[in-house]
Structure 1
Amino acid sequence: MSLPCRIVAGVRGAIPRPSPTRISRFGATITTREPSNQVSRHIHHQTRRQAQSAVQAQPQPEPAVPESTNPALSFPCLDAVESRSASLSRRSLSGPEPSYTSGKHLDFHSKQPLLLDWGGILAEFNIAYETWGTLNQDKSNAILLHTGLSASSHAHSTETNTKPGWWEKFIGPGKPLDTDKYHVICTNVVGGCYGSTGPSSIDPANGQRYATRFPILTMEDMVRAQFRLLDNLGIQKLYASVGSSMGGMQSLAAGTLFSDRVGRIVSISGCARSHPYSIAMRHTQRQVLMMDPNWARGFYYDGIPPHGGMKLAREIATVTYRSGPEWEQRFGRRRADPSRPPALCPDFLIETYLDHAGEKWCLEYDPNSLLYVSKAMDLFDLGQEHRTRITKVRQENSGKLQAFMDGKTLAESANADLCNLTLPEQPYEEKEQAVDEATASEAARDLLGATEPPADLVAGLKPLANTPALVMGVASDILFPAWQQREIATTLKRAGNRNVTHIELGEEMSLFGHDTFLLDLENVGGAVKRFLG
């Protein structure tokens, strides 16, 4: 109102005489008139109250907070992750980042659909591959080289891609895979991201990336796709199927699926069925990746890839790839910079090594490919019971494949929900099981490879009864422990195979753990060369 404003301005003489005030109360109208001195006191008190309220409304300075006894720690490792996200955010505006590639390679494109073990269908698919050496006239000298989880087809340098390959020292004239004798073929697996069809590929049905619409895979699915390539190349029978780690699993799968088309098998640091420890480690890697907000349930291709989750997944994997003895010699308890105070970010040399391994790799491999390919490893089991179940599932889905070829959509075909997972209503709880001492002792001996292999596994490897096999393991390997290769060798022998060569490298021969197959040219390479002849 104007009246208090005039008082605040100090123009007292300009105060008008108050007019009668009409107050409505309980339906009656009462007219009142305040004496002029009362009006003056009323205005004075009202103004003082407003002034006090104005003072109270002004922001008061907060009381000073005493400084902490210690300063806050810095986190350069997190700063680096945030900086990378910001950089990728800017780059993603011009298209999907990054581009997963391994350089120039050959391509085989199959327009015939591929029915997968768990009911998925690839309407068509691509296989990236590279070759070394010359295929002879009757095409009998071909070796199919299977890769590890994240490797590309680039096992050795070529004229069109001179970058050293992941098995560079093992392939070439006079080398373990002697290109003067053999025609070596290496593929990127289906589900990968180095040229073969995988989650980052375009779905021909809708022109969009598959992402997590890509179907669940198995090792056998990957092998069937590889043999489509061999059919296209006119190779009826392989001289040998060779692989390490996941490739060692695939090599065995190739022999069981196509026993009449594989002349020899080499399985290095692999297994005939995945075991709980390796499944648990791969599960952990998938979980840290899927918990990265940038993963976006697999649909991240036009935005920021989940590089943080990938970095952590790779660090976990690296822990399983090498061994304690090697790290003891290589790093010990040394810190990167002993002159500085300890930090929560990488501080010990082993921590900086893991950090570097994750940082270097987090944008080199498609995160969704890691999920799908690692899950395929978990599902691997050459036991007869599992093979029988999968064969039945494939038979049930044969009509689904035919319906697809007849032009029907997936939703219109039978068993369209086969790949959907429903979690149990009650969470898993450990149940006590009565185990007698004899059973416990038997289980302990089994871990040491001292007992007979399971009859189920012996039955599952029967197709390999007449296939010469080299099985190699490394004592320092914690991801695929040496007892798992002993299990393969013993099982093959019990299945009737009289030509099994089993070699186990003790820690005195190799401290490199699971990665020994990549590094030990003398022991691993020498054994392969002798076996192939």
Structure 2
Amino acid sequence: MKAQRYGITALRRVSSTSIHSSGESPLCSLRPRSRIAAPTSLQAPNLRHGARQLHSQPARRSGQPQTEASNPAMAFPCLDAIETKSAKLEARSLSTGPEPTYTTGATEVFRCKESLLLDWGGVLPEFDVAYETWGKLNADRSNAILLHTGLSASSHAHSTEKNPQPGWWEKFIGPGGCLDTDKYFVICTNVIGGCFGSTGPSSIDPADGQRYATRFPILTMEDMVRAQFRLLDNLGIEKLYASVGSSMGGMQSLAAGVLFPTRVGRIVSISGCARSHPYSIAMRHTQRQVLMMDPNWNRGFYYGKVPPHAGMKLAREIATVTYRSGPEWEQRFGRRRADPNKPPALCPDFLIETYLDHAGEKFCLTYDPNSLLYVSKAMDLFDLGLENRRVATDRRKERETQLKQLGSRPQGNDPSCSLTLPDLPYAEQPGSSDGELGASSPVAVDSRPPEDLVMGLAGLRDIPTLVMGVASDILFPAWQQREVANALRLAGNRNVAHVELSEEQSMFGHDTFLLDLKNVGGAVNNFLG
């Protein structure tokens, strides 16, 4: 396989050399180019195996006159860059392997030796939770705030003595800040399933000493929260002053109150939801599919090999589209091209394209691809409705009984630790006269929340809660935060603060929680008191 890959690379180099032999890019010249050189002996085996020939002309039909092509072949520097990166990763020392070390610096690590039973039947025999803290815990341990992260964030929310690099919420944490470290003891963890120090797919399975990879069990938001509360137990913190989170963290913040209502004093949920909705599920599904289609993903067993960096780059580009808003990009980029003096290209050409390309490139080797799959799937599964919680509770009880009979770990390839495709593919359901939703039926997103969700959030009736949304957010639209606030009020919570930032207040879309210190930080600071 390695020889074949290098053969393809050699073919592309030969093709590129012959195309650019005049010293000019074909994009900058309409002058006929010389014919591509015949493949070398190194390339021949790859041609027999059907390898693609980039920059080459189509094969001539039998009897066709040997004339030059009408136009020069397009250059693809974006693909060349991906191939170059793959070659560099391939050439890394075999002693260390090409997989990057996913880290953001020094953290504290809580190592839990007690097993953690997961909602979908999997078990972590032991696990680590990486965390960082700011401020001081007071004498009665009543001033702790648990800060929950977004999907790809580490525990490094703010700089520390051990790690002075700015954190992802650097301006929001500190003396006199949104999370005032003169008053509060702030704790932030890397979620289980992640790759910044907590146990995840890239971690070692203690059962056999090998990396979990895709033998890692399916997770839920609730599983992540249970692991966090094991850390709180270890720190001797019985009750949180507040549970605070944005995006995925906003989901976890609500889940913490649902799972441990007597241990959470206040809840802050920013740009989150109480149940994942189809649009966000669809976008995360697309990212996972792009990643899994990268041949380097190898069904998750890429550790020690070339990681699926191309799939990760594309997945991040898709995600970035959902993180910001159209009006912001209209102002920042408009229809401007990176270099209007050059002919259009199929590679990144408009400024918005180069921005997305940069965002994907910057991310593709800084987060473990398997962690992206598992953590994003946990977001999709999130639903605090009563029925989903009841089914999960019954499933956990049944699994606990099984584990007592089988021992501490699942034996063999247990299907209860995996998810499978449905037996029948989806088929469009036509609308009916009795009011069933059809393909063109409108859906009211600001109507009364479903009773199932109201009942599911009933345990939060006595917990003061701040729910924030942003009108320009397309990933977690503002109606989802209104749904949470309305459901809480209908469940009997008389202390719900709902803040919605208009497009005039913020055009940053979903990323507003990272950028808007005045509006987001101010609202949180006022709510915490």
**Do these two structures clear the TM 0.5 threshold for a shared fold by scoring above it?**
yes
DSSP 3-state at the match of 1:471: strand
- TM-score (ref. length: structure 2): 0.86
In structure 1, the partner of 2:428 is: 430
Match for residue 479 of structure 1 among 475, 478, 488: 475
Cα distance, 1:425 vs. partner?
4.4
Q: How far apart are the structure 2 equivalents of 1:346 and 1:500?
A: 46
Partner Cα separation in structure 2 for residue 462 and residue 175 of structure 1: 32
Q: Aligned equivalents of 1:420 and 1:485: distance in 2?
A: 31
Change (3 A) 1:421 1:226: closer
Correspondence for 1:410: 410
- How far apart, in 2, do the equivalents of 1:367 and 1:92 lie? 21
2:510 to 507, 511, 514: 514
Structure 1 residue runs of 5 or longer lacking an equivalent are 1-61
> In the alignment, is the contact (CA less than 8 A) between 1:121 and 1:401 conserved in 2?
no
**Alignment of structure 1 residues 47-446 onto 2, 5 Å:** 65-91=66-92, 93-96=94-97, 97-403=99-405, 406=407, 409-411=409-411, 416-434=414-432, 444=442, 446=444
Give the Å deviation of 1:438: 10
Q: What do residues 478-525 of structure 1 show as CA deviations (whole Å, max 9, x unaligned)?
A: 000000000000000000000000000000000000000000000000
Structure 2 residue 505 is matched with structure 1 residue 504: no
Amino acid at match of 2:242: A
Deviation of 1:377 after TM superposition, in Å, equals 0.1
Change in 2 beyond 3 A, CA 1:396/1:489: same
What is the rounded CA distance, in whole Å, between the counterparts of 2:95 and 2:414 in structure 1? 37
Shift of 1:444: 4.6
Report the Cα offset of residue 429 of structure 1: 1.4
State the 1:446 CA deviation: 2.8
CA contact (8 A) 1:106 1:130 kept: yes
Aligned-residue sequence identity (percent) comes to 74
> Does the 8 A contact of 1:92 with 1:303 survive in 2?
no
8 A Cα contact 2:313 2:364, kept in partner: yes
CA-to-partner distance for each residue in 1:50-100, whole Å, 9 max, x for gaps? xxxxxxxxxxxx987211111000000000000000000011523232111
Structure 1 residue 461 corresponds to structure 2 residue 463 = no
In structure 2, the CA distance between the partners of 1:435 and 1:243, relative to structure 1 (3 Å rule), is farther
Question: Structure 1 CA distance, aligned partners of 2:285 and 2:396?
Answer: 26
CA distance in 2 between counterparts of 1:376 and 1:423 reads: 17
Other-structure match for 2:22: none
1:127 is paired with a residue whose SS is strand
Other structure's SS at 1:504 match: strand
The CA distance in 2 between the partners of 1:497 and 1:420, in whole Å, is 37
The verdict on how the C-alpha distance between 1:92 and 1:324 changes in structure 2, with shifts beyond 3 A counting, is farther
Amino acid aligned to 1:260: T
**Partners of 1:420 and 1:361 in 2: how far apart?**
28
> Is the Cα–Cα contact under 8 Å of residues 115 and 401 in structure 1 kept in the other structure?
no
Shift of 1:437: 7.1
| Superposed CA RMSD | 1.8
Aligned with 1:452 (options 429, 448, 451):
448
Q: Is the 8 A contact 2:271 2:510 kept in 1?
A: yes
The amino acid across from 1:454 in the alignment is P
Deviations 1:439-496 (A, max 9, x none): 79xx85631x1x2110000000001000000000000000000000000000000000
Matching residue of 2:41: none
- Structure 1 length as normaliser, TM-score? 0.85
Is 2:122–2:410's contact at 8 Å kept on the other side of the alignment?
Answer: no
SS of alignment partner, residue 157 of structure 2: coil
Measure, in 1, the Cα distance between the counterparts of 2:289 and 2:346.
22
Q: Secondary structure at the match of 2:283?
A: helix
Equivalent-residue separation in structure 2 for 1:420 and 1:138 (angstroms):
43
Q: Deviations over 1:255-281 (max 9, x none)?
A: 000000000000000000000000000
Give the Cα–Cα distance (whole angstroms) in 1 for the partners of residues 510 and 489 of structure 2.
24
Q: Is the 8 A contact 1:139 1:235 kept in 2?
A: yes
Which residue of 488, 493, 499 corresponds with 1:492? Answer: 488
In structure 2, C-alpha distance between the alignment counterparts of 1:424 and 1:145, rounded to whole Å: 37
Query: What secondary structure does 1:144 align onto?
Result: strand
Aligned equivalents of 2:64, 2:269: Cα separation in 1: 71
CA contact (8 A) 1:92 1:302 kept: no
Contact 2:218 2:418 in 1 (8 A): no
Residue 426 of structure 1: CA displacement?
3.6
Q: Is the 8 A contact 1:101 1:194 kept in 2?
A: yes
Larger-gyration structure (1/2): 1
2:527 is equivalent to residue 525 of structure 1: no
Distance in 1 (alpha carbons) for counterparts of 2:93 and 2:371: 20
Number of residue pairs the alignment of both structures matches: 465
Q: Which residue type is aligned with residue 89 of structure 1?
A: E
Question: Does the CA-based 8 Å contact 2:254-2:269 persist in structure 1?
Answer: yes
Counterpart contact for 2:111–2:128, Cα < 8 Å: yes
